[in-house]
Every structure is written in structure tokens, then in C-alpha cells.
Amino acid sequence: MPTDILAAAAPRRRSLHDELVDGIRDLILEGHFRPGDKIPERVLCLHFGVSRTPLREALKALAAEGLVQLIPNRGAIVAKITEKEIEELFPILGALEALAGELVCERLQEPDFRRLRTLHERLLDHFRHGEESAYRRLNREFHEALFDIAGNAALSELYQQLLGRIHLVRFLIDKRETNWQKAVDDHERIMEALEARSGRRLAEILKAHITDTAAELSRQSLDRSSQPRDAGAARL
């Protein structure tokens, strides 16, 4: 067999650039850095064992995704999201999740349901123990699993394009006991709809969940804006 064919058939190794982009993205989405935080380049260089040149190239890629903002002479910060972006992105995300829910119920097999059930039970365990970071990470995995099971590559690609920006919003919402409990209750209803293979019901729950999240964000933003400036900023 010609060597060029062997080279073409060989699995591609992930580049350092891709590993850095994925690694920094995960740190942001898992809440290690919050919107508005300055990204500590020196710390990340030590963490990943790289020089500043590849790190900054990775930050440029994340800036193109909208996760990072590059500020001249100041470095990079985790991007903030505006009210206008919230108004524009949440309805789109709700529509994508609703469509994914319908497709999931058409395709759902018992192994898929068991996979989602396991993720759901782990979510509940993190909630009971107040493990917010682990809960957020697993919640992201659960929703990505729905899109995976839906089996529509174009839909998944659109979802991934919005995912980073949407997850930045989740870190702006204080995890008060009441709204965290409501999120868990929504997950219980999601599992009930999945078990019944009710695509229409699941679509309604997923869309309402996104709408409620946007409403809670707006309410908390109003609460914070009405506070005196020195009364304590929101946790970002």
C-alpha cells in the first residue's frame, strides 16, 4: 500500500492549538472564569505548559466564538453578554431545544433513555449536595446528549455555535434555592416526557425552561440596577 494512502488513513492527532482552545473554553464554561474576569495568561501558560504565543492564538479563536473579548493593551477578558444579545439568542435557543426534543422522542431507544436517566440522577445528586459547578457541567452534558440523540448534524452545529454565549448567561444568574429547585423540577418533567416519548410535551418544557431562564435573568438584572452602586455587585 502506498505510503501516502497510509498517511491519509492515519488518525489525526489533535493540534496544540485545538487542545488549548478546548481547555480554555472548558474552564470558562465550567465557571472558573466569569463574565468580565481578566484571563490570567501567565497562570494559564503554567497550567497548560505553553508559551504566550500559542496561548494568545487560542484566545483569538475564542474571541471569534464570542467567549473572549480582546482589549488592546489590557489583554483578554471573559466576554459579557448584553441585554440585546439575550433578547436575540434565547428565543433561538428555545426553538433549537424544542426541535431537538421532538426529534429525540422520535428516535429514542432504551439505551439512550438509560443514558439520560443516569445523567439526570447524577444531576439530582449534585443538587442535593449543593455542588453548583458540578451541576452546571453535568447539565451541559445532559443537554448536549439530547442533541446527540436527536441525530441532526446541522441542528447540533447551530446549537454548539450558541452554546458558549448562552452558558455565559447562566453564570449571571444567582443560584438561589428557589430557582435552582425549579430547574431541577423542570428536569424531572423532561424525564417524564422522555419516558412517555411525548415530543410535543418535551418541546414545550424545554422551550419554557429557556423562557423562564431569560425572565429570571431580566428580573435579577433589574434588582441589581436598583441597588446603590456600593451596595455590593452581582456575582459575575
Q: Say if CB 168 and CB 236 are below 8 A apart.
A: no
Which residues are registered as beta bridge partners of 78?
A: 68
Between the alpha carbon of residue 223 and those of residues 9, 42, 106, 204, 232, the distances in Å are 58, 36, 42, 28, 12
Phi-psi region of 169 (alpha: psi -120 to 50; beta: other; left: phi over 0): alpha
Q: Say if CB 116 and CB 190 are below 8 A apart.
A: no
What stretch(es) of the chain map to CATH 1.10.10.10?
Answer: 13-78
CATH of domain 83-225: 1.20.120.530
Q: Residue 233, exposed/middle/buried by CB under 10 A (0-12, 13-18, 19+)?
A: exposed
Across the chain, which has 236 residues, the per-10-residue mean pLDDT values are 44 76 85 86 95 94 88 88 79 92 96 96 94 84 94 90 69 59 92 96 92 69 44 30
DSSP E strands, the chain: 68-71, 75-78
At residue 74, the pLDDT reads 86
At residue 3, the pLDDT reads 45
Distance CA 179, CA 173 (A): 9
3-state DSSP assignment of residue 31? coil
At residue 8, the pLDDT reads 43
Sign of CA dihedral 62, 65, 71, 73: positive
Helices (H) and strands (E) in the chain, counts: 10, 2
What stretch(es) of the chain map to CATH 1.20.120.530?
Answer: 83-225
Q: Residue 204, exposed/middle/buried by CB under 10 A (0-12, 13-18, 19+)?
A: middle
Class of domain 13-78: mainly alpha
pTM score of the predicted model: 0.69
Sign of CA dihedral 72, 58, 65, 135: negative
Distance CA 143, CA 21 (A): 21
Distance CA 30, CA 143 (A): 15
- The count of other CB atoms within 10 Å of the CB of residue 112 is 16
At residue 229, the pLDDT reads 37
Q: Let me know how long the chain is.
A: 236
